[in-house]
Chain A
């Protein structure tokens, strides 16, 4: 007979396993800690499965501002923004980092659909700005950023 604590832990674990397979997409976006699988994804395909969204499509609706060259890989300023309406999440991805997903912003109507932050780039890499719409649509923009001094040693 499982204690209540064990039963809850088992159901949370099962939910996170299911969300990675994409079978329960809504669950992935509504629970505290449910982005854990997304933050551990190593490819765009794995990431979109973890988030329960459709295959990502490159689109001019997404805008990524990033430097062509960063002297210091430990703080590279990136801006992800969109001209489309209906985008509710903005993500910043660094292809050659140990983990693909750097940051994710959940937007409300009270903010412009744009987020700027500074991230570490371990080495020269493609960077992606991804936008997720409520209907599961996934769009992205990409840019190659060259790094002179890698960002995980500093």
Chain B
């Protein structure tokens, strides 16, 4: 059973990006902008999935090969539309991390992440744009 996918989608003008983006600290950044909430903007989306991403090349302590097991497809949707599809090989690091910028979003929009792995297991999670 995997942990939920962490999804953080932050509007670029919310003041929570730039130098403080890494830890998501909200506050007044150098050039605070006042933008009406209903205007469509861009948002940085960061996704952290929980998965071992075994390459099939590692050996366990007993010397046996640990079988390959990794997320193969990630479908990212915004407002019921697929905005990006990611295909992964086993080289993607454990607990896959992805970051990209989504256009034309409004605060409160739902962003969902659905992944499928090499065993056919799947997981869906969603979050709102902040």
A and B associate: yes
Given contacts A108-B83, A110-B103, A111-B83, contact A101 B89 (CB under 8 A): yes
Minimum CB distance partner of A119 in chain B: B91
**Main secondary structure on chain B at its contact with chain A?**
strand
**Main secondary structure on chain A at its contact with chain B?**
strand
Q: Is the CB of B101 within 8 A of A111?
A: yes
Q: Is the CB of B100 within 8 A of A116?
A: yes
Is there a chain B Cβ closer than 8 Å to A143's Cβ?
A: no
* Distance between Cα atoms of A101 and B83 in the complex (Å): 22
Q: Contact check: which of B84, B87, B88, B93 meets A111 at CB < 8 Å?
A: B84
Given contacts A99-B89, A120-B91, contact A108 B55 (CB under 8 A): no
Q: Is the CB of B93 within 8 A of A75?
A: yes
Q: Is the CB of B93 within 8 A of A119?
A: yes
Interface size on A, residues (CB 8 A): 33
Is there a chain B Cβ closer than 8 Å to A67's Cβ?
A: no
Minimum CB distance partner of B75 in chain A: A106
Is there a chain B Cβ closer than 8 Å to A17's Cβ?
A: no
Q: Is the CB of B83 within 8 A of A110?
A: yes
* Distance between Cα atoms of A151 and B96 in the complex (Å): 14
In residues 102-148 of chain A, which contact B (Cβ within 8 Å)? 102-112, 114-120
* Distance between Cα atoms of A94 and B88 in the complex (Å): 13
Q: Contact check: which of B94, B100, B101 meets A74 at CB < 8 Å?
A: B94
Q: Is the CB of A97 within 8 A of B78?
A: no
In the complex, besides A105-B87, A114-B101, 6 extra interface pairs with C-beta distance below 8 angstroms are A98-B55, A105-B84, A108-B81, A112-B101, A115-B84, A119-B92
Chain B positions near chain A (C-beta within 8 angstroms): 42, 55, 57-58, 78, 81-94, 96-104
